[in-house]
Chain A
Amino acid sequence: MLRRTFLTLSAAALVAATGSVAPTAARAQDTFTIGLSNGWVGSEWRTQMIDEAVAAAEAWADRGVEVEVIVQSADVDVQGQIAHVRNFMNQGVDAIIINPNSPTAFDPIFAQAAQRGVLVIATDAEVSSQDAIYVGIDQKGWAMKSAEWLAETLGGKGSVVAINGVAGHPANQMRVEGYREVFGKHPDIEILNEVNANWDQAQGQQAMRTLLATYPDINGVWVQDGMAAGAWRAINEAGRTDDIAATGEIRVDFLTQWKEKGYNSAASVNPPGVMASALNVAVLKLQGHEFKDDVFGGVYGNAIYLPIPLITNENLDEVYAEVKDKPGYYSVTTVVTPDEAEQYFD
């Protein structure tokens, strides 16, 4: 309350001082409440995702907009996450941003939210509901980017293996399609084997060890995030660091290892900042901006795909310099700023 008064006053003072009716004055009255729902706790990535979204909300104050966030983050089943959404609706939030536990189960509750005029944005995992939109990365594109790097690095030929996450998980499925499509374009690249290591570092290391023992002539490894550090440790143990190219991941402790040992690696960035990006899009929408007609795509036709950065040996020093003081579990991130988000609107 105090803060709002202060903002209004300062905006009024600004208008008085400049003597112009700047948009700031109109926006100074903007107050939005946004609910953030996260249904799975258990990785630092998710924690960072929420922290960044909360920071993005606070940053709107500099633009004279007060964005209040309510966070619901707990290990819940689908029904528990539906209860999150219900509570947000009963609370009277303006928008809900959700990292959903299921692609399909939210159709009914999102329909109810839309009826009440609540804006719903899913992030990190796409949802089928046509009453919601998705703001996040294209998981298939994420995989294609690093697969293309690997194919190029190998000169379009060689033997590769893939280490994937959880079989049957929608994001994993899309990623597998992505690298298969890329390698399929290179007839001289042979996929020797594809294994699942459940996004677990230790299992990734174990899988890599077995693969190295089974196929001594491996040239390239396409491995997903969370397991790349383990896979690289196995490659290192086997003394193959110099003759194998493998994808990496975006956590600071891996980047440190990568830089010190001079790996031949590259990593697509799935930034934890996606929820903050979604929040910035949400605020613009709440301010009354309308989406451009052609921004939506994706599996369900309701997705705005965000850019996916790629870390390679060429920009590793630069990226590392930015994050080297962060803790080891910190992930390289990017956020679509409010100014950048305006490109999605008319």
Chain B
Amino acid sequence: MTEHAKTAPSNHTSLTQRLRSFDLRRHTYLLSVVFFLILCGINIALQPSFLQPGVMVSNLSTFLPLILVSIGQTYVILASDIDLSVGSIVSLVNVATVSIIEGMGGTGGAIALGLTTGLGLGIAAGLFNGLCVALLRFQPIVTTFATGIIFAGLALWILPQAGKQVPATVWQTYGGSILGVQTVIWVLTLAVIFALVLARTRFHHALLATGGQMQSAFQTGLHVLRVRITAYALSGLFSALAALCLVGETASGDPLLGTGYTLSSISAVVLGGTALSGGIGGFIGSVFGAMILGLIDNVIFFARLPFEYQGLVQGLIVLLALAGGVFVSRR
């Protein structure tokens, strides 16, 4: 898919090929929507209560942290980079926020300071990644793997053992509603609006250009450096947002909390049709990709598979979803 879509249609390619590559560029996420709907159908068949508002909100609460991390990861991958430190950023922000809130006595001011410091810390971690990769020209995989170890080490240093608690108001607000709408729906809506607005900015066009053809983008005078650093900062920001959701969800700190998010977020981005080689895709696909991963867990649960086979089946379904994308785009 990536090969076809990336190279600009030359005079040698036929009209149909041109049309197809044009189509794929625009609608890379469509397949993930289809797969998402199929999984919803299976889930409804297995669990008739699936469409009840309470159940949908509860599912959204489960999926939300991964959705957020995946949105952030999308920007980095669009710039043809990768961020292997997102899981550690989640852990770091989680323990830092909880430690600040508890350390300052759990007052309203402490909560506000904890949350803003958490977001700031996420952005700072992302900027650090961006500077290492874009400015110092370190290799992205190895660099973010290493910075991930640093962030995880910092998290362990701040809170060596899972524990500490935030006041009940924090998790009651997160699990409840604000102005009559569930808090998790607010978070998702605001994140999506932010991403939609961002998608219309010059930055986003520059991002796609950078990921598609970094060399040409640079030669046409784009600030490739700034674009890549911003992408990493966004990844840090969204990871921090996910960490704050996890504070609301677990009401406590855990230095190992985020470990699983790194690879899951990359899977979600790829499932959502964004090319790992950069330049093609968008955050919408990643949102669906993250929900697909969550729904697969649900389907396995409600299918009442013996637990010995759950991991195996889960892996096979993910592989199927990825393979589906490859076959359709190759045909």
Indicate if B207 sits at the interface (CB-CB under 8 A).
Answer: no
Q: A199 → chain B, closest Cβ, in Å?
A: 16
Does B175 lie within 8 Å of A104, measured CB to CB?
Answer: no
Please determine whether A102 and B162 come into contact, CB atoms closer than 8 angstroms. Answer: yes
Q: A87-B298, A107-B165 are in contact. Are A82 and B62 (CB under 8 A)?
A: yes
Contact B254 A105 (CB under 8 A): yes
Looking across the interface, which residue of chain A has its beta carbon closest to that of B170? A108
> Is B103 part of the binding interface, using a Cβ–Cβ cutoff of 8 Å?
no
B251 beta carbon closer than 8 Å to chain A: yes
The residues of B that contact A19 with a CB separation of less than 8 Å are: none
Q: Which residues of B contact A112 (CB under 8 A)?
A: 175
A164–B249 CA distance with the chains assembled, in angstroms: 32
Q: Which residues of A contact B257 (CB under 8 A)?
A: 77-79
A287 to nearest B CB, angstroms? 25
Q: Which one of A84, A103, A108, A170 has the highest number of Cβ atoms from chain B below 10 Å of its Cβ?
A: A108
Task: Give the size of the chain B interface in residues (CB under 8 angstroms).
Answer: 41
Once A77-B257, A86-B58, A89-B58 are accepted as A-B contacts, the answer to whether A108 and B163 lie under 8 Å apart by CB is no
Within 8 Å CB of A87, what residues of B? 298, 301-302
A91 touches B (CB below 8 Å): yes
How many A-B residue pairs have C-beta atoms within 8 angstroms? Tell me. Answer: 92
Q: Would B251 and A70 count as touching, CB distance under 8 A? A: no
Main secondary structure of the interface of B (DSSP, over half): helix
- Chain B residues 223-262 with CB under 8 Å of chain A are 246, 248-252, 254, 256-260
Question: Are A108 and B58 neighbours in the complex by a CB distance under 8 Å?
Answer: no
Nearest CB of B to A240, in Å: 35
Q: Given contacts A82-B62, A89-B58, A90-B47, are A108 and B304 in contact (CB under 8 A)?
A: no
Shortest Cβ gap from B315 to chain A (Å): 12
Question: What are 6 A-B pairs at a CB distance below 8 A?
Answer: A71-B306, A71-B307, A74-B311, A77-B259, A82-B249, A170-B161
- In-complex Cβ contact of B302 among A82, A91, A107, A168 (8 A): A91
Q: Hey, which chain B residues are within 8 Å of A170, CB to CB?
A: 161
Bits for B29-58, please: 1 = Cβ < 8 Å to A, else 0: 000000000000000000101000001001
- Interchain CB contact under 8 A, B254 and A78: yes
**Chain A proximity of B92: nearest CB distance (Å):** 15
Residue ID in chain A nearest B58 by CB atoms: A86
**Nearest CB of B to A59, in Å:** 20
Residues of B within 8 A of A92 (CB): 49
Alpha-carbon gap, A108 to B248, bound state (A): 8
Q: Is B171 an interface residue, CB under 8 A from the partner?
A: yes
B307 is contacted by which of A74, A91, A104 (Cβ under 8 Å)?
Answer: A74
Q: Which of A60-99 contact B (CB under 8 A)?
A: 70-74, 76-80, 82-84, 86-87, 89-92
Most B Cβ at <10 Å: residue of A50, A71, A79, A90: A79
Taking a contact as CB atoms under 8 Å apart, the answer to whether A91 and B47 are in contact is yes
Interface string of B245-288 (1 = CB under 8 A from A): 01011111010111110000000000000000000000000000
Known pairs A71-B306, A84-B301, A104-B165. 14 more at Cβ < 8 A? A77-B260, A78-B250, A78-B254, A80-B260, A83-B297, A86-B58, A86-B61, A86-B62, A90-B47, A102-B254, A105-B251, A106-B250, A107-B171, A170-B161
Q: Does B18 contact A (CB under 8 A)?
A: no
Inter-subunit contact A104/B301 (CB<8 Å): no
Q: Please, which residues of chain B bring their CB within 8 A of the CB of A80?
A: 260
